[in-house]
Amino acid sequence: MTDEAARPVSVVNELARERNREAADRTLLAWIRTSLAMISLGFGIERLGQAAVAFDQRFDGAAQTKTRLFGAALIALGVVATLAGMWEHRRILVAIAAEDYRYAGRFPIARCMGGALVAVGIAALVLVLWGM
C-alpha cells in the first residue's frame, strides 16, 4: 500500500483546488483577451498611420513615425502581457498542486501592466501634442 493511498482525501480541499484551478484558467484567458486587444489596437493604429500617409501626401515622415512607434509600443506591451499572464498561470498551478498549499502574496503583474500602459499613453500624448 502506498503512502498516497493511505492518506485520506478531503473532498472539500480537492473541490477548493479545482475552483482555484478554474479561476487561474479564467484569469489567463482574461490576460489573453487583454493582450489581444492591445496587439490589435497597436496594429490598427500603425496601419491607420500608413493609410493616412498614402491617402494624403501632406503627412510627413514624423507623423508616420509617431503612429508606428505608438503601434509598436502597444504590440510589444500586448506580447509582454501575454508572457506575464502565462508565467503567473504556471506559478499558480504549481502552488495549487503543492500538498502544503498556502496563500502567499505575489508580485502585482496587473498593476505593472497598467503602469506600462499609462506610460505608453503619456508618451503618445506627448507625441501628439509635440507634433501639433
| pLDDT at res. 80 | 93
3-state DSSP percent of the chain in helix, strand and coil, to 5: 80, 0, 20
- Which residues of the chain carry a pLDDT beneath 50? 1, 132
pTM: 0.75
| pLDDT at res. 131 | 64
| pLDDT at res. 1 | 47
Half-sphere exposure of 49 (CA within 13 A, CB side): 19
Phi, psi for residue 101 in degrees, rounded to 5:
-60, 125
Listed in sequence order, the residues at least 6 apart from 109 whose beta carbon sits closer than 8 Å to its beta carbon are: 84, 85, 88
